[in-house]
A and B are shown apart, each in its own frame.
Chain A
C-alpha cells in the first residue's frame, strides 16, 4: 500500500532527526548534526533490505517516489518563501561577502575533487573498513 512507503520514509526521517539531535547533544549543543543525511542512509539501507527480501511492493515504492518527484516544486515554494528583501537590504557588506564566498567555494569543487582522486588507494581501504562496521551495526 502507498501509505507503507510514506510511513517508511517518515520513520527514516524521524529516526534520523533523533540521531542527529543526539549527535548534536553529544557535541554539547542544541543543533541537529546531519539528521537528514542519516535519514537518507537509513532509507537506502532499509529499502535495499526490503527489496532483496522482495517485501517492498510496487505501491509502497510509489509512496516514496511521489515525494521524490514533488521535490522540485517544494524547492520552488522554498525559494518563494525566502527573505530575499532582507538579503538584498543587507547592503554592500552582505553582497560582497556572499559573492566572494560563493565564488571561492565553486572554485574549490575541482580542487577537492582532485585531492580525493589522488588518495584513491586509501579510499579503497576505508571502503573495506566501513563495510565491516556496517555489517556489525546491522546485526545489533
Chain B
C-alpha cells in the first residue's frame, strides 16, 4: 500500500472527524463569499447549503453514487453527520427554549396547512404526470406522492404497485422539491411574510419536506426552525397514510368519471 493509500484508509476510519473539518471549512468559505461578494445580502448559511448541493451534484456525477460527497470514502462521515439520526437529534434540540403557547395558538392552522399541503402536492404532481402521458391512476398517484416528499412517492408506489421507473421518477421530483425549498426559501421569505413562528409553522406543514424546510428555514432565520420542523415532521407520515388510500381512490374515481 502506498503512503497516500494508507493516509486515505486512516482518514476513512476517522470519517466523522473529517466531516466536521470539511463542513467547517465549507461554512468558512460560504461566509467569506457572503461577506465579500454579496456584502452580507445573501446569508452565509444559504450559500453554505448551496455549496453543499453543488458539491453533492459534482460528486454524484463523478462517483455515480446516490449519497453526494459521502460516496467518497474519505467523506463518508458527511453522510453520517447529515443523516436522519443526527439531523433529527439537532432538530429536536432547536425546540429548547421555545414556549408551548406559540404552538397552541397556531394549532388549527398547522393542521390545516398539513392537509392543504398534502392534497395540493398530490394534485400538482398528478396533473403534471397526466400532462406528460402518465394517465393511469397508479402512476399519477405515485408521481403525486413524489411531489409531496421523496419518501411519500416510493412508499405510495410500493403500496399500490407502481413500476420501478415511476417510483424512481417520484423520488427525483421529491428531491427537486427539497432542493428548491432549501435554496429559494430565504429569497421568497419576505414576500410570503415568513418572519414569525406562525407562518413558519404553516410553511412547514405546506412544504412537508423535512430536509427542505430544515435547510430553507436555517438559511432564512434559525429562530424559525423549530416551528417549521414541528409540522413538517408530521407530513411524510400523513402523506404515506393518505396517498395509497383516500387520494388513490379519489384519482381513480376522477379518471373513471372523466372529471
B188 at the binding interface (Cβ < 8 Å): yes
By a CB distance below 8 angstroms, the chain B residues around A99 are: 176, 180
**Given A73-B27, A90-B172, are A36 and B81 neighbors across the interface (CB < 8 Å)?**
no
| Interchain CA distance A122-B67 in the complex, whole Å | 46
B207-236: CB near A (< 8 Å → 1, else 0) gives 100110011001000100110011101101
A87-114: CB near B (< 8 Å → 1, else 0) gives 1111111111111111011111110110
By a CB distance below 8 angstroms, the chain A residues around B67 are: 81, 83
A43-74: CB near B (< 8 Å → 1, else 0) gives 11101100000000000010011111011111
| Interchain CA distance A27-B169 in the complex, whole Å | 27
- Shortest beta-carbon distance from B168 to chain A in Å: 8
| Interchain CA distance A84-B55 in the complex, whole Å | 9
In the bound complex, do residue B147 and residue A9 qualify as a contact, i.e. CB atoms below 8 Å apart? Answer: no
Of the candidates B52, B107, B169, B178, the one whose C-beta lies within 8 Å of that of A76 is B52
Known: A82-B178, A105-B117; 20 extra A-B contacts, CB below 8 A, are: A36-B233, A40-B233, A41-B95, A72-B27, A74-B90, A79-B49, A81-B69, A81-B70, A83-B171, A84-B68, A86-B60, A98-B180, A101-B177, A102-B207, A105-B121, A107-B192, A108-B206, A109-B199, A127-B104, A130-B107
**B interface size (C-beta, 8 A):** 113
In the bound complex, do residue A76 and residue B233 qualify as a contact, i.e. CB atoms below 8 Å apart? Answer: no
In the bound complex, do residue B109 and residue A94 qualify as a contact, i.e. CB atoms below 8 Å apart? Answer: no
B173 at the binding interface (Cβ < 8 Å): yes
In the bound complex, do residue A90 and residue B215 qualify as a contact, i.e. CB atoms below 8 Å apart? Answer: no
Task: Name the residue of chain B whose CB is nearest to the CB of A108.
Answer: B206
By a CB distance below 8 angstroms, the chain B residues around A41 are: 95, 100, 103, 230
Residues of A in contact with B, size category: 35 or more
In the bound complex, do residue A9 and residue B237 qualify as a contact, i.e. CB atoms below 8 Å apart? Answer: no
List the interface of chain B (C-beta within 8 A of A): 19-20, 23-24, 26-27, 30, 45, 48-57, 59-61, 66-70, 78-79, 81-83, 86-100, 103-109, 112-113, 116-117, 120-121, 124-125, 128-129, 132, 143, 146-147, 155, 168-169, 171-182, 184, 188, 191-194, 198-199, 202-203, 205-207, 210-211, 214-215, 218, 222, 225-226, 229-231, 233-234, 236-238, 240-241
| Interchain CA distance A32-B24 in the complex, whole Å | 32
